[in-house]
Structure 1
Amino acid sequence: MKHFFWLLILLPTYARAQNDHKPTPYDSAHFSWRKPVPRNRLRELQPDRPGVTESPFTVDAGHAQVEMDLLRLRNSGTGDEQRERELKVAYTMLKFGLGRRTDLQLEVPLYAIAKQRATEATDWEERHAGFGDLTLRVKHNFIGDDQQGKFAMAVIGYARLPSGGAVGEGAPEYGVVLPVDIELSDKANLEAQLETDLNYDRDQDQRYLRFVPSTALEYDFTEKLGLVAEAVAMWDTEQRRWQASANIAPIFKLTPNLQLDLGTHLALNRLSDHEYFVGFTFRR
């Protein structure tokens, strides 16, 4: 992870050499949330979903974007003694472009069902359902947001509010995400990020740090069909053990402003979560 961190730090130096200051139809001097970008000059749709690795590109100024998990099922094994299952329905990320380099985001977890049971038990012993924890996020792009060069880099800061009661985490949580994107060709992009979170364990009544490096390759087979293949690792100061997953998700680009996705996160060890999901992104 140490080498991964230094790679993210040094990449902007490489990017400045690669990104030519070309004229672009998307000029930050002309557009803001009060003066939206004309629809015929919108950039290519670049959502943060479907993988863990997020996009360094922001929403066009003055426009809104919806990214939603229609359904997401997560099974996890927290150790030898306990199993957990979570079903999320209509988990929604609302985004609004404030300027060329910054957007404001609100995660609205409309409904979730969380269940727990002992490993040897056949029935779920504890069940909670309801509205989840609201999360306020801000993304700011440092370089490459005009999509004219081959490198882009941003930072995302978030605060999660304990609005979900028994379904939520039980206390405020905070995090910082550093995503980058390297254009390998007209059809392929390499993405990577380092995420650092300050999380809360309700059962232990204590906070812990979590580190999540990830990398993803996105490839467009056609203008309408793409695929994301991703590797994710996770380590925290509570369990002090690595978790790993391999994720794969096809993307169906129905229109310039609408895409569908579905996929799975495959657990590579017994502590990792195993997920299935289907969702969409819509921009207006």
Structure 2
Amino acid sequence: MRKIILLVLIMAIIQSDAFSQIELQKKYTLFNPVPRDKMRDMSTDRPDITENPNSVDAGHFQMETDLFKTSRSKNDGITSVENNYNLANLKLGLTHNTDLQLVVGSYVNSYDKDATGKKFNNTSGFGDLTIRIKHNLWGNDGGKTAFALMPYINLPTSKDNNAVEGGIIFPLSVDIGDGFDFGTQIQVDILKSIQSGYHTGLLQSIVVGKELSKSLETFVESYYNYDFENKKFDLSFNGGMGYSVTKNLKFDAGFNLGLIKNTDKVYFIGFSFRY
């Protein structure tokens, strides 16, 4: 009986301490940062399409960027190319479960070319700005699952866009054991119509990641994107790898291969850094 009472007391102390740690962390804000020795493991929204439901620690900054990303599609003998340089997602932890994100198209070059290689519609300059807020609903501090809400708005700061668009993303992750992670998301987009008004787009993805070692990880992913106004359906198979140099610095590279005609083929290399 004494052993049982002692075990119950030990468990109560452990649970009380864990609860106190979580409650203490929730007191941290943008202006009262989480101490570096109490920060969670770095979670990133890249390199896959599926977003991560975990947020940046309160009071800390994180940068995730495509150093170089090229997208290509072909239609009726015309190849469309878009090259992004330093397509950066700048994140700032506001509270225990919420971060603010600014996606910046630092420099974008796009053009079309015909079968002879002649270029036309060649434009270059600053890209669009996207403002996003990630709010984790559960799983930020561990557990088998995590879920978040991510509303966003896209501001037309590039030469080729004059429409404000937006939407909301619902990312979910599941730890399935043995170093494997499963993720999925549903994304509802509010898109500018060609004539006037707005219409809806839908994106859904699934991804499986595998930790190969303490520093190396890989993933395979598929997603579809459907535009309800244009009845346009895109389907892609994606893959890539990430290498953690430190707990706050990771490099990655990958590809998105369109499985349906006119779906973009994308190749990229980038990194994530946290301070």
The amino acid that maps onto 2:111 is K
- Confirm or deny: 8 A CA contact 1:140 1:155 kept in the other structure: yes
What's the secondary structure of 1:33's corresponding residue? coil
Match 1:93 to one of 89, 92, 96: 89
Q: CA–CA distance in 1 between the matches of 2:16 and 2:82? A: 47
What is the TM-score of this pair, normalised by structure 1?
Answer: 0.86
Aligned with 1:76 (options 67, 73, 77): 73
Distance 1:200 1:128, change over 3 A: farther
Residue aligned with 2:42, SS: coil
Which of 29, 34, 46 is equivalent to 2:31? 34
Instruction: Provide the rounded CA distance (Å) in 2 between the counterparts of 1:30 and 1:186.
Output: 34
Query: Residue 180 of structure 1: CA displacement?
Result: 0.3
Residues 1:251 and 2:248 aligned together: no
Does 2:141 correspond to 1:146? yes
Q: Any residues of structure 2 matched to 1:174-213 within 5 Å, and which?
A: 174-185=166-177, 187-200=179-192, 204-206=194-196, 207-213=198-204
Q: Distance in 2 between matches of 1:270 and 1:242?
A: 10
CA distance in 1, matches of 2:16, 2:230: 46
The superposition leaves residues 35-66 of structure 1 with CA deviations (integer Å, 9 ceiling, x where unpaired) of 11111111111100001100000000110000
Match of 2:40 in 1: 43
Q: How big is the shift at 1:271?
A: 2.1
Q: Find the partner of 1:164 among 152, 155, 158.
A: 158
**Rg bigger for which structure?**
2
In structure 2, list runs of 5 or more residues that go unmatched.
1-14
In structure 2, relative to structure 1, the CA distance for the partners of 1:68 and 1:208 (3 Å cut) is same
TM-aligned CA deviation for residue 81 of structure 1: 6.4
Asked if the contact 1:170/1:200 (under 8 Å) is kept, the reply is: no
Alignment size in residue pairs: 258
Q: Tell me which amino acid in the other structure corresponds to 2:87.
A: Y
| Cα separation, 2, equivalents of 1:142 and 1:36 | 20
SS state at 2:37 partner: helix
| Contact 2:206–2:223 under 8 Å retained in 1 | yes
Mapped pair 1:127 → 2:146? no
Deviates more, 1:229-238 or 1:54-63: 229-238
Is structure 2 residue 262 aligned with structure 1 residue 262?
Answer: no
Helix, strand or coil: the match of 1:23?
A: helix
Shift in alpha-carbon separation, 1:263–1:275, aligned structure 2, 3 A: same
Partner SS, residue 85 of structure 2: strand
Give, in whole Å, the separation in 2 of the partners of 1:133 and 1:38. Answer: 34
Cα displacement string for residues 166-215 of structure 1 (whole angstroms, at most 9, x for unaligned residues): 3xx321110110000001115111000001111236xx445432111001
For residues 13-32 of structure 1, the aligned pairs below 5 Å read 23=18, 25-27=21-23, 28-32=25-29
C-alpha displacement of 1:266: 1.0
- What do you get for the CA RMSD once the two structures are aligned? 1.9
Q: Write the deviation string for residues 57-84 of structure 1: whole angstroms up to 9, x where unpaired.
A: 000011000001100000023x436431
Query: For residues 132 and 217 of structure 2, what CA distance do their matches in structure 1 show?
Result: 27
CA–CA distance in 1 between the matches of 2:70 and 2:156? 21
Could you tell me which amino acid in structure 1 is paired with residue 88 of structure 2? T
Residue 272 of structure 1: how far off its partner (Å): 1.0
